[in-house]
Structure 1
Amino acid sequence: MARLAGFAGGAVLTFSLSYLAVTSIRQRAARNSATLRECRDTLEALQKPPTIPENVRPYIARPSLVETLKDRWNDEVTGVWRWATGLDAVRIRESVEKGIGNVWGNLKDRS
Structure 2
Amino acid sequence: MGFTTGFIGGLTLTSATLYLTMSLHTRNRLQQAALLRQQSLILTNIVEPRPEPPPPAARIARAGMVETAKDRWNGEVEGLVRRVQGVDWRSVREGLEDRLMSAWGRMREKGEKP
Tell me the TM-score range normalised by the shorter chain. 0.3 to 0.5
- TM-score under structure 2 length normalisation: 0.43
- TM-score under structure 1 length normalisation: 0.44
Q: Which has the larger radius of gyration?
A: 2
